[in-house]
Amino acid sequence: MNNPLLEVFNTPYQSIPFSTIQPEHFIPALKENIKNALESIDKVVRQTDAPTFENTIEALQDTGELLDRNSAILFNLNSAETSDAIQATTQQASPLLTQFQNNVRLNQALFDRIKTIYQNQDQENLSVEQKTLLDKEYKSFARNGALLNDDKKELLREIDTEKAQLSLNFGENILADTHAFELHITDEKDLEGLPDQIKEMAAEMAQSKNKIGWVFTLDYPSYLPLMTYAKNRELRKKMSLAFGRRSFQDNDHNNTAIILRLIKLRKKRAELLGYESHNAFVLEERMATSEENVINFLEDLYQKAYPAAEKEWKEMEDFATQNLGLNTLEKWDTAYVSEKLKQAQLELDEQLLKPYFPLEKVKAGVFDIANKLYGLRFVKNNALEGYHHEVEVYEVYNSEGAFYALLYTDFFPRPGKRNGAWMTSYRSQKKDQRPHISMVCNFSKPTASKPSLLTFQEVTTLFHEFGHALHGILANTTYGGLSGTNVFWDFVELPSQIMENWCYEKEALRLFAKHYKTDEPISMEFVDKLKKLACFQQGLQTLRQLGFGFLDLSYHCKEASAIKDIKTHENTILKRVQFTKDHPENCTSTAFSHIFQGGYSAGYYSYKWAEVMDADAFELFLEKGIFDPQTAKSFEENILSKGGTMHPMTLYKRFRGKAPDPKALLKRVGLVE
């Protein structure tokens, strides 16, 4: 078989020739890649020279490049452009890759060499980056079973293989249930309150399914507008309950058993390695350092946010009773009532903003902002392939005109693409190698009469993911294992969340917020209202995020094995952050992809943790000027380019001159004066 995955790609920048890659190429290639990588590692182990950083740690960095590339392609496709064949291939690949990782991490002879270097590192003249890499490699082995006896190593292998399989199944189940539901409307009266663009999108969706009328799905650009604007309460209820039932129904896609098994396996694995819980294991290598510190952090925010949230909820209830005839607010009412209240209080209808945020202008705007801050230039190259015809590929050049990265952008929902937004990479940065970065979102699609017009929330999402992308694009380290987003998990959201701040600044909005028909810039009156919008119902918003953080920790604490019923447990944890009554047929946990499919287990608090840093860091930009070249250069040199080469607090203090002040966040969202 002519298999393109077995060779270095003979393409510009070694970009991926997606059209030549078939699902059946992956498994043979991965098996060959694994064989070659293990042979390379064996050469490192069998050498007779005494262990040194260069002949062991650095040598390891150069093994498995094709394996890393090919597995990244497969798993990224499984998230953004999957199919039955890709899913089946991923199911086959997962145990192979887990076994490989275990074969490496549990290789006693290899660990002995690393341990010798680690214990005698003072004898080598290592740079700070080299010391960080050595520490990371040693801990990676130790925290993945290298210190265990043979029986326990074998048990660890079994646990890791099953965990990887369950996480894959978890995501596939959500995708299946998401796409199994649709709301088909044939009476136009049921669409009352919905913006014309949303109705047009729904009509085009119906046409694509050969149906008369309008079709709404559980994909965010379809689901959220209906929940926010539809006057028909029964339709909101139907959609809300369908969304909440994902992977919690009596079908083959139910995730409750997977969750129970995953949390037990994670705890068992942590105990095997000498930790009392998965939280303790994970948080040892985080800025927060311990479960106690995270709980104290979340509780402190809770105490500040709850009184504000309670007041905001009472305000919603009173408004709904007096103006909308709703005496009891249900979960399917909150987005609708919140939008009506926002329009009344702020005199801001976000639908009036959308014409000022056509996707193409917002995208050009964020590129322009990156140019002003970091000197980057983005040039679209239609000759480079994407994995779908909607994917665009950009060459990125630095301030000196040198090629610096490839950026793939993928903005619209479709079958085979999971909900949400994320940044990922196909190739990491290291010495003499520039990265290939991808940002994936699910935005409102263009229609026959209008381009893609973004909600303001979609604008901030684009800026958020672009911030992650910049972390990858501007990476400038020697070793790929420390590059870009390879940082402590509670530091990884700082570059993304700080970018959202530019969405609220007049000087930045002038660059891109222009009417799609007239090119008229957004009025300063609207900009002032956006500033107020940033503080609107922040008590409730904060409480919602804290709920996810508390729920995550509860599944991974030392008592996690005692959980017998997911729904009962979830209710116990979330009741202190919710004001609407529970519905027995709905469950948050069964679609909580961040912690059961992604990498956020024992780490969901990171969003709020990083928000503190981003609010504090952006105060310096506000003080010096949001496009101040010196401040931007410092942020690039100390944060974006450094990856995980030093402890994040060291990097943060180098930029800011001090530790982050939690009051900056509370002040920004209006929870304190």
Query: How far apart are alpha carbons 254 and 250 in whole angstroms?
Result: 7
Using the Cα atoms of residue 45, residue 46, residue 51 and residue 56 in order, give the sign of their dihedral: negative
User: For 644, how many CA atoms within 13 A lie in the half-sphere containing its CB?
Assistant: 24
Using the Cα atoms of residue 295, residue 469, residue 438 and residue 484 in order, give the sign of their dihedral: negative
Q: Report the phi/psi class of residue 418: left, alpha or beta, with left for phi > 0 and alpha for psi in -120 to 50.
A: beta
Q: What are the residues whose beta carbons fall under 8 Å from the beta carbon of 583, sequence distance 6 or more?
A: 241, 244, 331
Query: How far apart are alpha carbons 273 and 146 in whole angstroms?
Result: 9
| Two tokens, residue 151 | 């029986």
Task: Answer yes or no: 465 catalytic.
Answer: yes
Q: Tell me the chain's radius of gyration from C-alpha atoms.
A: 25
Q: Residue 423, SS3?
A: strand
Query: How far apart are alpha carbons 208 and 610 in whole angstroms?
Result: 41
Number of Cβ atoms within 10 Å of the Cβ of 420: 15
| Two tokens, residue 566 | 């997911």
Query: How far apart are alpha carbons 364 and 303 in whole angstroms?
Result: 41
Q: What is the DSSP-derived secondary structure letter of residue 380?
A: E
Q: Residue 477, SS3?
A: coil
Q: Which of 577, 586, 568, 593 is nearest to 544 (CA)?
A: 577
What DSSP element (H or E) covers 405? Answer: strand 403-410
CA distances in angstroms from 267 to 560, 565, 572, listed in the order given:
7, 17, 20
Amino acid identity, position 46: R
Q: Look up tokens 């009506």; give the residue.
A: 340
Q: What are the residues whose beta carbons fall under 8 Å from the beta carbon of 448, sequence distance 6 or more?
A: 200, 204
Tell me if 102 sits within 8 A of 455, measured CB to CB. no
Q: Look up tokens 């929870």; give the residue.
A: 671
Q: Which of 444, 7, 33 is nearest to 220 (CA)?
A: 444
Query: How far apart are alpha carbons 117 and 229 in whole angstroms?
Result: 62
The interaxial angle of helices 256-272 and 150-180, nearest 10 deg, is 160
Which residue is catalytic, options 339, 465, 505, 636? 465
Q: What are the residues whose beta carbons fall under 8 Å from the beta carbon of 643, sequence distance 6 or more?
A: 471, 475, 477, 482, 483, 484, 485, 486, 487
Tell me if 427 sits within 8 A of 435, measured CB to CB. yes
Q: Which of 412, 427, 578, 437 is nearest to 496 (CA)?
A: 437
Query: How far apart are alpha carbons 241 and 562 in whole angstroms?
Result: 28
Number of Cβ atoms within 10 Å of the Cβ of 528: 13
What DSSP element (H or E) covers 260? Answer: helix 256-272
User: For 106, how many CA atoms within 13 A lie in the half-sphere containing its CB?
Assistant: 20
Active site residues: 465
